[in-house]
Structure 1
């Protein structure tokens, strides 16, 4: 199968490139014309470092008729690349958030439906076996009726390595845009697509350092109220310092009438100390979620089946994020539109 990766802007791009490069059933094409020529993490510099084929433009990549495309550009550039890939007849995996505006996300979904191609949103945590167990515990009533969920998705500030994350024109926002969506997507699964009626958000830029842009929020706390009565909180902060032993983490605690279930996507299994870095190190023990997500996408591309999480899933979670920003603007609860 021929697959094109368009843009290396996102932090996950290099991981996808390595996973696809090492598969014998994949013919890989890459293009990243938007990066600075001297940036080792972008363009031909990264392609050469990873040993993957590279062409100079997105048009060149699509002209080679890939069956599938992975879009890992800056958030605000997703729509253009998805529409180009759909017009070329390729199935598409798009990094999260799906877009920075509801109008862009809706246009992307419409373009893929018109072209008869699948659009998948990159939510790899859905594929965690421990989340499957959590979902089962909630669905079968093991913890009684679900009352509340407390979610965290924290990391180091991605703008330290990828400055565009702190540029609102490219990112659409900071920690709220970046990290609300994963927990919101898991709630989408647990509640069968139910949308919250109310979103309330608080955020600040206190975690930005002198070397980081303070143009976007670096910490946030979102509260979601669902029609079923479930209350969910999401800590979406970039709260890990650069010296933290892990880049990030995600947890969910589900509280029911009769019990509690806890999910940790990246539990530390081994703890040690790196003398050369004077730093604690954790080795996590978990499924390779990116590989599991890619496998699901490749299967959908080969068979023509609808991929999940799909474009509408990405739109629903984006609407929650946009409601959070409306709440920040008004200091009042907002409803997803």
Structure 2
């Protein structure tokens, strides 16, 4: 029997990626919630979703096994906690919330209820990044010493809304992009971030007081230093991830978009080796793993706890940019 999903939010990311991913992974979407009756009905009709509702109670009553939460970030806490209390599994968009206390409440509510909680950090499901992690784990680059992430491009016009204007919803490049970088580096390096120093930029795309680009330096527990550049304003930037070790380096290019893409080169004393990659849809792979976790087979690619850590990094980056000082990274949650 397919997993029955409810969508909390009639959103762009669900439209562009998650509806197809849930269905391709074998799930069934039975309901969608929007606070606008007209928008919800139109959305349900467009995507062949049987039921459109305007509140959580009716969504939960539609017989859903899991919910996908993709509303604006300040709404996540109430929606995730309500789903957990109803005994429903939760896949939530990043960042989990706009405060650590809200994100902690979400993680603890899911723990208490015994439901699976995943954070939709899709980049963990990229063939490029999985191969990078496996190569590092195998020791082929020796001890990792430094890393660099470029996660910059041009924010599409249809997304130039709350991300550029509404700080209460989690606007800015840091909460939108740096959270991904933090989670991805933890995944690839299997190391934990401890401190961060950040400078921000407003080039005029975002409202005053909101960053549309940021440059950060993270020190990891091993001593590794990672340099991150995140931004909404560079139309022609090439995304990439580099990891440099004592015995080799990895160069991943064009590897940060939502669509499956990327090349990976391993450079050692033997020369350059192009790594063969089997690209698959990141979101489909993530939903399949989430279904497995619901069935008691493993964990989601990125858990609620992982989402809490990536949020802690982003909030520490914002604090560093505000104070001009290096910020410590802590979730305030025991393992």
TM-score (ref. length: structure 1): 0.83
Q: State the distance in 2 between where 1:186 and 1:305 align.
A: 19
| 2:164 aligned with 1:166 | yes
Taking a change above 3 Å as real, the CA distance of residues 311 and 25 of structure 1, as seen in their structure-2 partners, is: closer
2:210 maps to which of 210, 216, 225: 216
CA deviations over 1:89-148 (Å, ceiling 9, x no partner): 111100011111110110000100111101101111111122121112212221121111
| 2:30 aligned with 1:28 | yes
| 2:104 aligned with 1:102 | no
1:204 maps to which of 189, 201, 205: 201
Kept in 1, the 8 Å contact 2:129–2:188? The answer is: no
Q: State the distance in 2 between where 1:302 and 1:313 align.
A: 20
1:299 maps to which of 287, 292, 295: 292
How do residues 38-187 of structure 1 correspond to structure 2 at under 5 angstroms? 43-57=40-54, 58-157=56-155, 160-161=158-159, 163-187=161-185
Taking a change above 3 Å as real, the CA distance of residues 118 and 259 of structure 1, as seen in their structure-2 partners, is: same
| 2:18 aligned with 1:16 | yes
Q: State the distance in 1 between where 2:165 and 2:171 align.
A: 8
CA deviations over 1:259-315 (Å, ceiling 9, x no partner): 11012325479xxxxxxxxxxxxxxx9321111111111221233753231111111
Q: CA deviation at 1:50?
A: 2.5
**Residue in 2 that maps onto 1:331:** 324
Q: CA deviation at 1:173?
A: 3.2
Kept in 2, the 8 Å contact 1:72–1:94? The answer is: yes
Q: State the distance in 1 between where 2:160 and 2:36 align.
A: 13
Taking a change above 3 Å as real, the CA distance of residues 122 and 250 of structure 1, as seen in their structure-2 partners, is: farther
Which consecutive unaligned segments of at least 5 residues does structure 2 have?
A: 264-277, 331-335
Q: CA deviation at 1:331?
A: 1.0
How do residues 181-260 of structure 1 correspond to structure 2 at under 5 angstroms? 181-196=179-194, 198-208=195-205, 213-241=207-235, 250-260=239-249
Q: CA deviation at 1:161?
A: 3.0
| 2:252 aligned with 1:263 | yes
Q: State the distance in 2 between where 1:52 and 1:324 align.
A: 40
**Residue in 2 that maps onto 1:4:** 6
**Residue in 1 that maps onto 2:310:** 317
The 3-state SS of whatever aligns with 1:55 is strand
Q: CA deviation at 1:236?
A: 1.1
Q: State the distance in 2 between where 1:30 and 1:332 align.
A: 44
Q: CA deviation at 1:240?
A: 3.7
Q: CA deviation at 1:216?
A: 1.8
Q: State the distance in 2 between where 1:14 and 1:158 align.
A: 13
Which consecutive unaligned segments of at least 5 residues does structure 1 have?
A: 270-284
Q: State the distance in 2 between where 1:170 and 1:286 align.
A: 36
Q: State the distance in 1 between where 2:178 and 2:297 align.
A: 30
RMSD: 2.5
The 3-state SS of whatever aligns with 1:66 is coil
TM-score (ref. length: structure 2): 0.84
The 3-state SS of whatever aligns with 2:193 is coil
**Residue in 1 that maps onto 2:268:** none
Q: State the distance in 2 between where 1:81 and 1:18 align.
A: 23
Q: State the distance in 1 between where 2:305 and 2:207 align.
A: 32
Q: State the distance in 2 between where 1:300 and 1:181 align.
A: 23
Q: State the distance in 2 between where 1:183 and 1:31 align.
A: 30
